[in-house]
A = this chain, B = another copy of it.
Amino acid sequence: MSKQGPSVGDEVLCCSPVVREPLDAEQAGTLARVFKAIGEPVRLRLLSLIASHAGGEACVCDLTGAFELSGPTISHHLKVLREAGVIEGERRGTWIYYRVRPDTLRLLSDSLAPALDVAETA
């Protein structure tokens, strides 16, 4: 299940320092897709719930109680997060267990961070 570096579908996410040099259209498209996936309140809460859950993983059965949403709706949001490379799932028995992909989160975090020094001293 593990891949070489963060990826979204077939596209490899490269370490784009958003604030250091201009992103090209392709980099921006790939990175924007991931930000868009987490740019939705329910998905951001799901990400947060999964990441902070005991053992760093959670199944849908652990997640539905936090929302007044149907199981299929929760599953749809999990699919969007999974397709964006933010979480990954593994079936064990009846349930799929989800965990965050730290490589993707680190890349997103780093893509916004390094330019800060530039911006703050400009």
Contacts and interface: CB of A to CB of B under 8 A. Distances in A.
A51 interface: yes
A96 interface: no
B119 A56 contact: yes
A116 interface: yes
A76 interface: no
A72 interface: no
Tell me the number of copies of this protein.
2
A32 interface: yes
Contacts of A37: 39
A113 interface: yes
A72 to B, nearest CB: 20
A12 interface: no
A1 interface: no
B113 A105 contact: yes
Interface of A: 18-23, 25, 28-29, 31-45, 47-49, 51-52, 55-57, 66, 99-100, 102, 105-106, 108-110, 112-113, 115-116, 118-120, 122
